[in-house]
Structure formats: structure tokens, C-alpha cells
Amino acid sequence: MISAYLFDLDGVLVDTAEYHFKAWRRLANELGFDFTEHQNEQLKGISRMESLERILTWGNVTLTDAGKLDWATRKNGWYLEYVSRMKPADVLPGVREFLDACRAKGIKIALGSASKNARLILKNTDLLRYFDAVIDGNKTTRSKPDPEVFLLGAQELGVPPAECLVFEDAVAGIEAAHRGGMKAVGVGAPEVLMEADLIISGFKDEHLAKLHSL
């Protein structure tokens, strides 16, 4: 029996990946190199500092720890310029209706995101009120595919992991759910998310009807 849904944020409820890409690209450009949208795929679901490490490797740039913190803070400032302009209309299609339906059925709802800006994004898009628990990058110490973020979510909801269903757009997030003993719905491309128990292209998808089979 599934009694709780745990949602990733970026790529599932909102599309902030594009803002992350623009801000990271600006950082790379200011450091004298560039990277592609294809490379950016590898940053999805990955924490801010881990993302920076990967980007610096791509550009063959070495920084001190203080330098890394400084550039990560700058990137976050650029990212926040986009996020601060987000509105309720920026929620991905079908998400609000799906969350309304979850609430009506009495399903508990938690967020499980790597982002330290998750609360601000939920507030600006008027999604915060749907969540019984918000687990974000400020509450976790280990990145997905470690299951910490989802196990904390289950704990805050007071629901055993076996009764939780995770919605994720990142491969690392699907693995995190499974390692936590939870089933996972992949939101996105089947060729990327083949480890998921069910794959949907979004919340307007006819596959949503198959959720009850999980």
C-alpha cells in the first residue's frame, strides 16, 4: 500500500534546470571556458558544490577551497535572479491538479530535493502549502544516489519507506529511492530512466492512471 508521495523539485514540479544551466555557464565563461547542454545533463540532481567540482574538471580549472565557495556563491546569486521572478504559472503542466488530487485522497506529500533554494521556489510558485514535509539541501549531508533525502522525508511524514513512492527526473534520484526501499516513478525520457518502476512524461500523462498498479 502506498500512503505517501515524495517529490523531487527540479525537473519534476518545476523546470529550474534551465536557470541552473544559464548560471553555471556564466560561471564557466567568466573562468574562460564553456560546456554543453549535454554535459549539463550530468548535473541534474547533483548538489551545488559537487556540480561546481564537475564543471571545474571540464574546464581544467583549479581553485582553492575559498575560491570554490566564492564562485559557488556567485553562481547562486545569478540563479536566484531567475528564481526570484518565478510565479505560480511556472509550475509544470498538470502538477497542481495532481497535488490537489493527492490531497483529496489523503496521500501524504513530501519534497526530497538537493536544492538549498527549494523553499523559496515552492513559495514563489505557491506550492508550499501542499507539503507535509520539506527535505532540501539544507537538511541533508549526502547527495543522491544516497537515500538520505528520501529516508528523512519518510521519517518526517511518519510513513515506512515501503509505503512511499518517489517521483524523480534524475537517474541518481531513482537509485536513491530504490536504495531507501521505495518504488520510483521516473518523470522524463524512458531511455534515461529505465531503472524506474514506472515512467511518465509528465503529470498530464495518461500513464498516471497506471500509478495504482504500483
Contact between 17 and 113 under an 8 Å Cβ cutoff? The reply is no
Does the footprint of ligand B16 cover residue 117 (CB under 6 A)?
yes
Choose the stretch contacting ligand B16; rule: CB under 6 A; options: 27-35, 41-49, 151-159, 189-197. Answer: 41-49
For residue 181, the partner it binds in ligand B16, Mg ion, none, with Cβ less than 5 to 8 A by kind, is none
Catalytic residue among 8, 65, 100, 126: 8
Shortest Å distance, C-beta 65 to Mg ion: 27
- Give catalytic status of residue 8 as yes or no: yes
Distance CA 58, CA 141 (A): 25
- Give which of 185, 191, 181, 190 is closest to 203, Cα–Cα: 185
- Give which of 177, 71, 77 is closest to 117, Cα–Cα: 77
Distance CA 213, CA 13 (A): 22
Contact between 169 and 8 under an 8 Å Cβ cutoff? The reply is yes
The footprint of ligand B16 on residues 167-196 (CB under 6 A) is 170
134 has which bridge partners? 111
- Give catalytic status of residue 136 as yes or no: no
User: Which of 23, 45, 52, 164 forms a contact with Mg ion (CB under 5 A)?
Assistant: 45
Q: List the grid coordinates of 133.
A: 514535509
**Backbone angles phi and psi of 198, in degrees to 5:** -155, 145
Size of the site for ligand B16 (CB under 6 A): 20
The footprint of ligand B16 on residues 87-116 (CB under 6 A) is 113-116
Does the footprint of ligand B16 cover residue 51 (CB under 6 A)?
yes
Q: Point out the residues that are catalytic.
A: 8, 10
Q: Which chain residues interact with ligand B16 by CB under 6 A?
A: 8-11, 20, 43-48, 51, 76, 113-117, 137, 170
